[in-house]
Structures are given as structure tokens and as C-alpha cells.
Amino acid sequence: MFDCVALVGATGAVGRIVLDQLHARKFPMRKLRLLASARSAGTQVRYGDEMLTVELMEPSAFEGVDLVIASTPDEVSAEFTPWAVKAGAIVVDESAYWRMDPTVPLIVPEVNPEAVDGHQGVIASPNCSTTQMVVALAPLHKAVGIRRVIVSTYQATSGAGLAGNVELESSTRASLDGQAHSPETFQHPIGFNLIPQIGSEKHLGYTSEEMKMVHETQKILGDDSIQVCPTAVRVPVAIGHSESILVETREPITAAKARELWEAADGITVVDDLDSKSYPMPRDCDGKDDVFIGRIRQDISSENGIAFWCVSDNLRKGAATNAVQIAELLAKKHLPAVG
């Protein structure tokens, strides 16, 4: 059991789900503290039947804290994480800042839980679009190896934070009313639209969001030879990222065998019956922690190919749930019971 856990970013969309998960999963801790910038300090936030007051995040705030779970922008993580580690805490960080640091494990508990043993005070949780994809890829990679992945994402507006969903609503209303809409969060109006750009230009015409999927997948699966060709698209859906994935395996595998592997895997629910129009959709996966897989089929254009559709709640498994699961690994492996 942890004596003291701190949550940084409790007032955000992901932070509130972390709070719900800590309470629902009966996370082993004696005390919970909420930390934030001066703008949010003093805010009252509900935790179960309690109301907790958000405290100012400063170096002294981490004294006596065993574990920090954080959902903040990259620049905030870069500032506070050294404070927390210096104070003796372990940080589970959801920002992108530490993910590709070679000294920082990047963990999805269903995929590489053993990596938690290599931490030096910081553990990173992957990008939401990467997380659901590697949960789906891992059983295939373990069974027959993966050579190449082609993925197109259909990413919800909540991936851009609370402001993303506010803009989805205002943009949709403007379209319905025949009014112009000036976007602030996205590059173009998102109402009744698709935007094939998430992040800035990064490498050879690929965006930062797309390159995260390349590098994070290789790091989590422990195989830099896996080739990933991603296209990331923002869609007018509030919650739930969807992905169309084509995997080229190193050894042949049938669609039936792939389905069998997914049905046996932790954290995966298979919903796959085309005749009954049964397959994962964002509205059905909202509020659920699993990764959902359907439309499983052989690639008819090449050998050793499996195509499938993958959906997950990006605020839960894509962010909050994964971070809490990492914290649960730490609770089991790293800290003895207090007192």
C-alpha cells in the first residue's frame, strides 16, 4: 500500500477519470493529494464521498509523496517531474515528454508489464492511439511476429482535451445553423468534417501524432524492425478512437487463429459478426476500459496479412485507465505494505 499518492491534473478530462478509477478499483493508498497550477489551486474536486481541495504544485508539495500520477502538457511534466523524483516519488506520466527517453520505460500493462522493473523514478504511458493498437498487436507479435503495420486512425475530439469537445459542439451547431465557424483548437472546422492532420509536420510529411505511433510501437513491443505506416485523422466524434489496421506478420496466420488469440487476451473484447452488423463503434465503447476488435479478415492483397478494426475509449484505456494500471503494477511489485 502507498502511504501518499498525488494526482497532478485532477481538474482535466483525463484527471477526473483517474480519480474515478482510483476509487472504483480501490487503489491501495492511505492518502490522496491533488496538485495543480495556481489557476486551479483551491478548487474543490469530488473523490468518492469526499471533497478534496486542489493544492498548489510546487517543489515542497511532493515531500512525503510515494507515487505521482500525472496528466499534464509536456512542458508542465518537464518542470515538475524532477521535483517529484528528487523528493523520492515515482512518477507515472501521461504526457509525451518522457516517452522516448531511453531511461524511461514506456508501458502498457497487458503488453510489457516486466518493463516496470527498469524504471529510475519515471514511467511513461503511451499516446492514446498507440496504446489501443499495441494491445491489439501484442498477441499477434508474440505468436507469429509482426513485420509491418499500416494504420489509419479516426481520432475523437476529446484527444485534444476539453476544448476539443467544446469546439466539436460549437462547430456542429454553426454548421446546422448555416453559420461560419472560426476554429481555435483544430486547424479547420470539425463539425461534419474530417481533418487529416493531428500534430505538426514532423518527418517526411508525417505528423508528430503519426511518428509517435511509429516510435512508441517499436519501443513497447521491443522490436525496432517493425515498420509502421500511419495516417492520423481527426473526426467529429466526442469520445472513442477508431483504427483501421492491416498487419503483415512474419509467419502465416489465419483470421480464425487471430480471433482466437484476441479472445484469449487480457484487455480485449472481440465484437465481430458482420452478418448481424456487429462490430465495435465509438458510442458503444464509451466509458469502457477494454480495447475492442472486429471486422477481422485475411488480407486478400498479400500473404501473411490480417486486417481488422479497433476501437477504444481514448480517455480511459488510452489515458487514465492505463496510468492507473501502471500504478497497480507498482503497488504489487515495488512498495511493501506501509506500517
Residues with a catalytic annotation lie at 128, 241
Task: Find out whether 155 is annotated in a ligand binding site.
Answer: yes
Long-range contacts of 80-89 (CB under 8 A, 24+ apart): 80/8, 81/122, 83/58, 83/59, 84/6, 85/121, 85/122, 86/59, 86/62, 87/59, 87/62, 87/63, 89/6, 89/62, 89/65, 89/121
Task: Find out whether 53 is annotated in a ligand binding site.
Answer: no
Task: Find out whether 193 is annotated in a ligand binding site.
Answer: no
Compute and round to an integer the Cα radius of gyration of the chain.
Answer: 20
Task: Find out whether 259 is annotated in a ligand binding site.
Answer: no
**Terminal C-alpha separation, the chain:** 9
- Short-list 160, 109, 134, 140, CA closest to 310: 134
Strand order in the sheet with 67-70: 55-56, 29-36, 2-8, 67-70, 90-93, 122-124
Distance of CA 294 to the CA centre of its chain: 20
The count of other CB atoms within 10 Å of the CB of residue 144 is 19
Q: Per DSSP, what are the bridge partners of residue 201? A: 207
Cβ(308)–Cβ(258) under 8 Å? yes
Task: Find out whether 159 is annotated in a ligand binding site.
Answer: yes
Q: Which amino acid is at 189?
A: P
Distance of CA 171 to the CA centre of its chain: 25
Q: Name the DSSP letter for residue 195.
A: B
Task: Find out whether 234 is annotated in a ligand binding site.
Answer: yes
Q: Name the DSSP letter for residue 108.
A: -
Task: Find out whether 13 is annotated in a ligand binding site.
Answer: yes
**Which residue in the block uniquely carries the three cell numbers 489496421?**
245
Task: Find out whether 316 is annotated in a ligand binding site.
Answer: no
Task: Find out whether 174 is annotated in a ligand binding site.
Answer: no
Task: Find out whether 99 is annotated in a ligand binding site.
Answer: yes
- For the record, the C-alpha cell of 224 comes out as 525496432
- For the record, the C-alpha cell of 161 comes out as 482535451
Backbone angle region of 289, left / alpha / beta, with phi > 0 → left and psi within -120 to 50 → alpha: alpha
- Rounded Cα distance, 62 and 55, in Å: 11
Task: Find out whether 46 is annotated in a ligand binding site.
Answer: no
Query: Which residues are known binding-site members for NADP(+)?
Result: 11-14, 39-40, 158-159, 314
Query: Which residues are known binding-site members for substrate?
Result: 155, 234
Query: Which residues are known binding-site members?
Result: 11-14, 39-40, 99, 155, 158-159, 234, 314
